[in-house]
Chain A
Amino acid sequence: MKKSAVGSVFALLLISAVVLPVFLSSYQWPVTARDHLELKGVEESGATNLVSAIYLGYRAYDTLGETIVLLVAVTGTIGILKKAGAVLEDRHSFALPGEMRRANYMRTHLLEAVTSKLGPIVLLFGFYVMLYGHLSPGGGFQGGVVVASGIVFLALGSSGNASSALIRQDMLGRIEAVAFLMLLILSISGIFTGEGFLDNPLKHYSSLPAAFIIVLNIIIGLKVGAGIGVMCIIMLGKE
């Protein structure tokens, strides 16, 4: 107990040493980028939601890096789980057929009924957040995570043989791979029309300036949703 108290005091001191300068310093924050975005952001990118405009327009390169980080994280988790799963698989899996419900103590009829009805609604909301990311709060990452929650709901709610293709591991893995490939192709495509890496290739032809942001949002949403969904489904022991 004494050791943990010393540890927590040390942690508090460390945190305050890191955070305090931020509050105490009288240094003026840089305002150039902020003012530029506030004045010209909507006009330049065509997206009302400036957060989307920044992370898919001005800072799309960072977003590409983030998706790679997510891909590596999901791959690593799945790799570890596949190795550990061989031992743990037959103890109590979520995917038992109806008669073998005895060992399946964490899965009740209540859970099944609620999640199977709620899953499609959550999926729909996720796609809404994804598609309208340039207008309202949300975007590819947020929508993707909501889609992943919907997929997990469907996986929890599907009883035995009435499972949909959306909760199959190979399907989700394929969706993620194709989405990442599309993202790479799209990011290169700007170069061929003379706009630059990750720039809108149809900037001078399209009447809807936010079109590229919408496409990127959809692809990133699919990728994030499929990736996190497949990770959770493997964790739940679903085949």
Chain B
Amino acid sequence: MTVILLLFILGLGIYTLFTKDLLHSVIALSAISLLSAMLFYILHAPDVAITEAAVGAGVSTIIFVWIIRHTDRKESDS
């Protein structure tokens, strides 16, 4: 189970790095946070899981979306 979750996290991380649409990468980042929250719960660290779900999936996503709203959504090819 942990291996499957880690593979998903790895795949989403690679997608986050290489996608051109920044909003997509923010959503992928928040999915990574949710998956790692599940991982922490499986590894018997529910405290960390709560924090990861609330901070990673909630607050940091809001901050990233706010930043994208005030800058450009698409990454420019330079």
Give the interface of A toward B (CB within 8 A). 49, 51, 88, 91-92, 106, 129, 137-139, 141-142, 145-146, 148-149, 152, 228, 232, 235-236
At the interface, yes or no: B6 with Cβ under 8 Å from chain A?
Answer: no
Provide the B42-73 mask, 1 if CB < 8 A to any CB of A, else 0.
00001101110011001100110010011000
- Chain B residues whose CB sits within 8 angstroms of the CB of A141 once the complex forms: 51
- Chain B residues whose CB sits within 8 angstroms of the CB of A88 once the complex forms: 70
User: Once bound together, how far apart are the Cα atoms of A88 and B71, in whole Å?
Assistant: 11
User: Once bound together, how far apart are the Cα atoms of A32 and B59, in whole Å?
Assistant: 37
Are B50 and A232 closer than 8 Å at their CB atoms? no
Closest 8 CB pairs of A and B: A137-B46, A145-B54, A142-B50, A149-B58, A235-B66, A137-B47, A146-B54, A51-B47
Give the interface of B toward A (CB within 8 A). 46-47, 49-51, 54-55, 58-59, 62-63, 66, 69-70
Given A142-B54, A235-B66, A236-B66: A148 touches B59 (CB 8 Å cut-off): yes
Given A51-B47, A235-B63: A106 touches B55 (CB 8 Å cut-off): no
Given A106-B69, A235-B62, A235-B66: A149 touches B47 (CB 8 Å cut-off): no
- Chain A residues whose CB sits within 8 angstroms of the CB of B51 once the complex forms: 141-142, 145
A143 closest partner in B (C-beta):
B50
Are B63 and A232 closer than 8 Å at their CB atoms? yes
A91, A139, A142, A236: residue with the most chain B Cβ atoms closer than 10 Å: A142
- Chain A residues whose CB sits within 8 angstroms of the CB of B55 once the complex forms: 145
User: Once bound together, how far apart are the Cα atoms of A51 and B48, in whole Å?
Assistant: 10
Across the interface, B50 reaches (CB within 8 A) one of A106, A137, A236, namely A137
> How far apart are A233's CB and chain B's nearest CB, in angstroms?
10
